[in-house]
Amino acid sequence: MQTEGKVFKYSDNVDTDVIIPARYLNTSNAKELAEHCMEDIDGEFVRFVKKGDIIVAGQNFGCGSSREHAPIAIMACGVGCVIAKSFARIFYRNAINIGLPILECSEAADEICAGHLVNVNFDTGLITDITTGKTYSAQPFPKFIQSIIASGGLLAAIKNEGEKKDE
């Protein structure tokens, strides 16, 4: 599995309140949420983001509220992957549980610039900055988490597990 797209770059501690402000949490409709993604720190994001594009950020991405609406909004915008130095733990769980690809890679987060064209191969963890030609290796997920991703999310993994037990 791969994604390729343009980079939107943000700094440390991007919180879920700016990813999707609470004033829009009176709905759980993914399309409606996507219309307001990032609007308090980047009014241009929604206008320019295209399917497959990549968010690159610093430390503690997705800190704050547990709202799953945050990864839902990012995914519904078409974002193919979030690369950060580190993720806040609830955002990390939520992204895996709903199937939004995320990767931790400090070097890539430092060096890749806004607007660069980047390719991410999820099977190998290889991040390629096509604009500069430089490649980076991200930490692979633990096997247990890989199995959740392979199943298509947490609930699908639980269902699969249940069916295996029934057989």
Partner 1 sequence: MPMTMTQKILAAHAGLESVVAGQLIEAKLDIVLGNDITAPVAIKEFEKACFDNVFDKDRIAIVLDHFVPNKDIKAAEQSKICRNFANSHCISHFYDVGKMGIEHALLPEQGVVTAGDCIIGADSHTCTYGAVGAFSTGVGSTDMAAGMATGKAWFKVPSAIKVELTGKLKKNTSGKDVILTLIGKIGVDGALYKSLEFCGNGVASLSMDDRLCICNMAIEAGAKNGIFPVDGVTIAYLDNRAERSPVIYSADKDAKYEKTICIDLSEVVPTVSCPHLPENTRPAKELSHIKIDQVVIGSCTNGRMEDMTAVYKILKGNKIKDGIRCIIIPATMQIMRECVEKGYVTEFINAGAVVSTPTCGPCLGGYMGILASGEKCIATTNRNFVGRMGHPSSEVYLASPQTAAASALTGYITEYAE
Q: Where along the sequence are the contacts to partner 1 (CB under 8 A)?
A: 13, 15, 17-18, 21-23, 25-28, 40-41, 59-60, 63-69, 71-72, 86, 88-90, 93-94, 97-98, 142, 144, 153-156, 158-159
Strands 81-84 and 102-104: parallel
CB of 131 to partner 1, least distance (A): 29
Contact 129, 78 (CB under 8 A): no
Strands (E), the chain: 2-9, 54-57, 81-84, 102-104, 117-121, 126-129, 134-137
> Closest distance between partner 1 and the C-beta of residue 56, in Å?
18
Looking at the Cβ atoms of 2 and 66, the one nearer to partner 1 is 66
Contact assessment for residue 55 and residue 127, using Cβ atoms and an 8 Å cutoff: no
Q: How near is the Cβ of 92 to partner 1 at its closest, in Å?
A: 9
Q: Closer to partner 1 by CB, 106 or 131: give it.
A: 106
Question: Which of residues 98 and 126 has its CB atom nearest to partner 1 in the complex?
Answer: 98
Choose between 18 and 126: whose C-beta lies nearer to partner 1: 18
Helix (H, G, I), strand (E, B) or coil at 14: coil
| Closer Cβ to partner 1, 2 or 59, answer by number | 59
Q: Is 78 left (phi over 0), alpha (psi -120 to 50) or beta?
A: left
Minimum distance from residue 14 beta carbon to partner 1 (Å): 10
Least distance (Å) between residue 97 CB and partner 1 = 4
- The alpha carbon of 61 is separated from its chain's Cα centroid by a whole number of angstroms, namely 9
At residue 82's C-alpha, the angle toward residues 77 and 84, to 5°, is 145
